[in-house]
């Protein structure tokens, strides 16, 4: 049995954390939906940077865009190219969307990362992108920065599906839930059909271990020998523990009388989506962040190498709610060692925004370079 298909027995939807025009043209995405039970696709600036800058798949389309409008700037050219991919993927996923009642079958498109701390501009761009893509199974990706919280409420109130990204802290996740529920209440007040509004909260996993493990290694250098076993035992555990605590928040917030009123009106809970589930430490199992986080009403968006590995040798079983006491103990131990998890998650949020911004700048520069080579006499000031 295909382990990716088996995930769904335990209430988890496998999504694919990658998109490239080649996989749309070749039928690869269609095959994954058919054979692996793939339920959705996510994209981000880094994924598009690798796809457009790292291949010639987009050169013909870029030349076509420039032939019709040579003065388009690189940002406009990017979104024109990206929206073509997003629309094609949305159409391939539409049967999944229909059969799951709008729960799955989603494709995500992220707002420009240079707007991560600009609430009004993010709202405006998100609305423009949603209108341009014009697919019911589109999710607009919005960073979970402080400035992103009002964006979530505004877009949900509009009836626009939202994928909240770059979530690392449980406390911030709870703020995201509040923003989502507030948006639903506004949508309901304004007469919008709640059953057509969907959202996921993308909670990042492996990056937490990458940073906490580094800090634990530093503690080992100065800690008394009696603590060494505990410190070594905590390595590779923080990210999973953090995610399990987030799931406890999910269960608590979406079982309140406040949300039950919305559920009766057709609202969906905002599912947790496990992101950054590719393993960064080669000493760990290459399917660690899938096998340990399988549970009801969740999504795992899986990068290509991890997707292949799990399909080949992964084991699907209900694991998410196991070891909750151990998760609390693990994080308390890490705090007792002087590691500030609030500072860790804030640092990761800042680094995540900067990483996507760096990829976006590289992407725009690559598009401009290609465009200048195609129509050199017409790119001045573009």
Q: According to the 3-state scheme, what is the secondary structure of the chain?
A: CCHHHHHHHHCEEEEECCCCHHHHHCCHHHHHHHHHCCCEECCCHHHHHHHHHCCCCCHHHHHHHHHHCCCCCHHHHHHHHHHHHHHHHHHHHHHHHHHCCCCCCEEEEECCHHHCCCHHHHHHHHHHHHHHHCCCCEEEEEECCHHHHHHHHHHHHHCCCEEEEEECCHHHHHHHHHHHHHHHHHHHHCCCCHHHCCEEEEEECHHHHHHHHHHHHHHHHHCCHHHHHHHHHHCCCHHHHHHHHHHHHHHHHCCCHHHHHHHHCCCCCCEEEEECCCCCCCCCCCCHHHHCCCCCCEEEEECHHHHHHHHHHCCCCCCCCCCHHHHHHHHHHHHHCCCCHHHHHHHHHHHHHHHHHHHHHHHHHHHHHHHHHHCHHHCCCC
| Spatial CA neighbour of 77 closest among 377, 358, 374 | 374
Residues in the chain: 382
50, 56, 141, 196: the catalytic one is 141
| Spatial CA neighbour of 43 closest among 78, 19, 70 | 19
77 contacts 371 by C-beta, under 8 angstroms: yes
Per-residue CA distances from 360 to 49, 53, 78, 111, 340 (Å): 7, 11, 10, 11, 30
Please state, in angstroms and rounded to a whole number, the distance separating the CA atoms of residues 64 and 372: 14
- Residue 311 falls in the annotated catalytic set: no
Q: Which residues are catalytic?
A: 141
């Amino acid at each position: 049995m295909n382990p990716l298909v088996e995930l769904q027995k335990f209430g988890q939807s496998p999504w694919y954390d990658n998109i490239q025009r080649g996989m749309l043209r070749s039928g690869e995405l269609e095959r994954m939906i058919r054979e692996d039970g793939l339920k959705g696709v996510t994209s981000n600036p880094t994924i598009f940077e690798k796809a457009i800058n790292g291949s010639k798949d987009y050169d013909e389309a870029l030349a076509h865009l420039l032939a019709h409008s040579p003065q388009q700037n690189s940002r406009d050219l990017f979104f024109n190219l990206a929206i073509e991919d997003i629309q094609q993927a949305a159409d391939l996923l539409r049967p999944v969307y229909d059969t799951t009642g709008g729960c799955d079958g989603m494709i995500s498109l992220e707002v420009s990362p240079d707007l991560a701390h600009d609430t009004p501009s993010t709202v405006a761009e998100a609305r423009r992108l949603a209108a341009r893509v014009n697919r019911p199974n589109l999710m607009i990706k919005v960073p979970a920065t402080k400035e992103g919280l009002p964006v979530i409420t505004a877009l949900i109130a509009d009836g626009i599906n939202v994928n909240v990204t770059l979530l690392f802290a449980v406390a911030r996740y709870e703020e995201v839930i509040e923003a989502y529920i507030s948006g639903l209440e506004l949508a309901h007040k304004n007469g919008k059909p709640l059953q057509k509004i969907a959202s996921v909260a993308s909670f990042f996993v492996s990056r937490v271990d990458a940073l906490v493990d580094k800090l634990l290694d530093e503690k080992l250098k100065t800690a008394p020998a009696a603590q060494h076993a505990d410190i070594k035992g905590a390595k590779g555990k923080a990210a999973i523990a953090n995610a399990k605590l987030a799931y406890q928040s999910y269960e608590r917030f979406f079982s309140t009388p406040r949300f039950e009123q919305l559920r009766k009106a057709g609202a969906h809970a905002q599912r947790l989506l496990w992101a950054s589930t590719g393993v960064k430490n080669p000493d760990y199992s290459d399917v660690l962040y899938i096998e340990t986080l399988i549970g009801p009403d969740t999504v795992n968006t899986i990068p290509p190498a991890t997707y292949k590995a799990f399909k080949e040798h992964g084991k699907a079983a209900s694991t998410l709610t196991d070891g909750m006491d151990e998760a609390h103990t693990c994080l308390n131990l890490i705090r007792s060692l002087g590691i500030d998890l609030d500072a860790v998650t804030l640092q990761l949020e800042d680094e995540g925004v900067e990483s996507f911004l760096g990829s976006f700048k590289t992407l725009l520069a690559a598009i401009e370079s290609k465009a200048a080579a195609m129509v050199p006499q017409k790119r001045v000031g573009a």
